[in-house]
């Protein structure tokens, strides 16, 4: 049997097992696991325990970031910091919608741009922004869509864009010249998103909002609220400014130290054990999905299914590849997350490079489209995280539908950057 037939059969077996598991109402996480196990069995590998275990730790670091960042924000909430901040923002900006939108877009863009992770944006500033937007009369689904799309753009924004960095590393290209090609479309995309999806926003009824919002503890003030964020930012920047003198802490520990500061600054006593347990409970489905996606990717790689998908995409005619970027990039992100950059990004940028396109602009354009896939199954990690953070109780498909217009605009911007990369190469100045 040829490699293609074999990989196709295994792929069908995986899909069949996944669908069967879902029909039997098995959770998404376990369905992914069973699909992986089914693929391994169909490929004649039995139960490859080493690969299952190794795949399970693929996204361990991301799980730790999720856990510690959520704990950080949950402690801030428990301390009354979120209600304090929202009340203050509403009091000062309730009458100036445009200014408020600009402020909120900036709040959403910064954490992801600094860390390269949209999840950090969702967890750190997402919940805060969500409450403000809800008081502007936007429904939860719309709010979640705004936060998700801008969080994705924040991850693509400079200085840290993991898709661009991973792909550049894969083709021996310095991560230089990306600042403007990433910054400008991310800013445009973020502003378009918040103004388009937020067009129905109403002036805030301040009296009603302040009456409904929980009243923060009396001793809560900007210092108590700001200090944990300052500690977080200081530790993050210290690693950047003094990289050769400051120890590498890693994002999970930085968030944990921020959480410890938030506990110490809280005007009310925080039950750390209880909050930690609730945080784990809250994130268990997400971490389970990440773990099982890692296993699935490992088995797809082992059996050749990943190779089949990759080679099928990159061997399409160049025009078809460009025309289908809006599909292939998000779909690869949905399955592989950042792993999509080395698997698909490397051959695609090399393909475009051989066709005379500017690789920096091409990669920047692609980096803009990739994060859209974070809302798509089977992982849908950031999409689901946003739903949880905003507290959306409606169907996931409604959220996806709401994301559609800004997603199309962003995909068009990214695709146009690829097509006109040569003309845009003046942007690659630093």
Q: Where are the alpha helices (DSSP H) in 325-373?
A: 325-336, 340, 346-354, 359-369
User: Cβ distance 19 to 25 under 8 Å?
Assistant: no
Q: Sign of the CA dihedral 365, 370, 375, 376?
A: positive
Binding site for other proteins (CB under 8 A): 2-4, 6-7, 43, 47, 49-55, 57-58, 61, 114-117, 159-160, 162, 165-166, 168-172, 174-176, 236, 239-240, 243-244, 248-253, 294, 297-299, 301-304, 307-308, 310-311, 314-315, 336, 339, 342-344, 346-347, 350-351, 354
Give the residue with the Cβ less far from other proteins, 132 or 361.
361
Query: Which CB, 114 or 413, lies closer to other proteins?
Result: 114
Question: Shortest Cβ distance from residue 36 to other proteins (Å)?
Answer: 11
CA distance 163 to 14: 27
Contact 306, 258 (CB under 8 A): no
Least CB distance to other proteins at residue 28 (A): 16
Among 307, 344, 296, smallest CA distance to 324 is for 344
Output the six-digit token pair for 423: 């003309």
Q: Minimum distance from CB of 169 to other proteins (Å)?
A: 5
CB of 218 to other proteins, least distance (A): 36
Select 115 or 266, whichever has its Cβ closest to other proteins. Answer: 115
Q: In whole angstroms, how close is the CB of 303 to other proteins at the nearest point?
A: 6
Q: Which two tokens stand for residue 406?
A: 């800004």
Q: How far is the CB of 385 from other proteins (least distance, A)?
A: 18
- Residue closer to other proteins by CB (options 160, 220) is 160
As a whole number of angstroms, the distance between CA 148 and CA 387 comes to 9
**Closer of 131 and 348 to other proteins (Cβ):** 348
Tokens representing 360 are 């920096």
All residues at 6 or more sequence positions from 280 whose CB lies less than 8 Å from its CB, including other chains: 67
Query: Distance of alpha carbon 129 from its chain centroid, rounded?
Result: 16
Rounded least distance, CB 268 to other proteins, Å: 27
The CB-side HSE value for 244 (13 A sphere, CA atoms) comes to: 0
267 or 307: whose CB is closer to other proteins?
307
Which of 219/240 has CB closer to other proteins?
240
210 vs 351, beta carbon nearer other proteins: 351
Locus of tokens 């946003």? 386
Minimum distance of other proteins from residue 101's CB (angstroms):
28
State the minimum distance, in angstroms, from the CB of residue 166 to other proteins.
5
* Contacts by 260-265, CB closer than 8 A, 24 or more apart: 261/227, 261/228, 261/231, 262/72, 262/75, 262/76, 262/79, 262/81, 262/228, 263/75, 263/79, 265/79, 265/223, 265/224, 265/225, 265/227, 265/228
Using the minimum distance from each CB to other proteins, give the nearer residue, 204 or 310.
310
């Amino acid at each position: 049997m040829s490699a293609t037939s074999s990989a196709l059969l295994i792929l069908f077996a995986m899909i069949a097992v996944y669908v069967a598991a879902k029909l039997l109402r098995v959770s998404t996480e376990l369905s992914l696991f069973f699909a992986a196990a089914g693929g391994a069995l169909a490929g004649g590998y039995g139960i490859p325990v080493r690969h299952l275990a190794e795949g399970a730790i693929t996204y361990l670091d991301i799980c730790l970031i999720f856990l510690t960042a959520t704990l950080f924000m949950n402690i801030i909430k428990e301390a009354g910091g979120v209600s304090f901040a929202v009340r203050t923002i509403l009091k000062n900006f309730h009458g100036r919608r445009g200014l408020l939108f600009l402020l909120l877009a900036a709040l959403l863009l910064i954490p992801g741009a600094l860390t390269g992770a949209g999840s950090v944006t969702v967890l750190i500033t997402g919940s805060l922004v969500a409450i403000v937007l809800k008081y502007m009369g936007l429904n939860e689904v719309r709010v979640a869509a705004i936060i998700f799309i801008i969080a994705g753009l924040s991850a693509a924004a400079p200085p840290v864009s993991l898709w661009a960095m991973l792909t550049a590393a894969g083709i021996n290209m310095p991560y230089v010249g990306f600042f403007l090609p990433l910054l400008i479309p991310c800013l445009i995309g973020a502003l378009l998103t918040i103004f388009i999806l937020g067009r129905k926003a109403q002036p805030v009824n301040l009296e009603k909002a302040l009456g409904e919002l929980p009243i923060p503890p009396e001793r809560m003030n900007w210092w108590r609220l700001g200090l944990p964020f300052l500690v977080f930012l200081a530790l993050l920047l210290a690693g950047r400014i003094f990289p050769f003198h400051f120890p590498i802490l890693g994002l999970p520990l930085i968030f944990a130290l921020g959480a410890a500061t938030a506990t110490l600054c809280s005007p009310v006593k925080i039950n750390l054990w209880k909050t930690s347990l609730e945080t784990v409970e809250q994130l268990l489905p997400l971490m389970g999905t990440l773990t099982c996606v890692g296993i699935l990717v490992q088995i797809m790689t082992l059996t050749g299914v990943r190779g089949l998908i990759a080679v099928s995409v990159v061997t399409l005619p160049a025009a078809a590849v460009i025309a289908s970027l809006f599909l292939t990039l998000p779909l690869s992100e949905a399955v592989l997350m950042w792993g999509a950059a080395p698997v698909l990004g490397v051959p695609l940028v090399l393909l475009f490079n051989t066709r005379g396109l500017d690789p920096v602009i091409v990669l920047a354009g692609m980096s803009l489209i990739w994060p859209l896939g974070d809302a798509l199954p089977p992982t849908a990690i950031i999409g689901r995280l946003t739903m949880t953070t905003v507290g959306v109780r409606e169907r996931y498909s409604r959220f996806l539908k709401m994301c559609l217009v800004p997603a199309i605009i962003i995909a068009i911007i990214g695709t146009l950057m690829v097509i006109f990369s040569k003309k845009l190469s003046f942007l690659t100045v630093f």
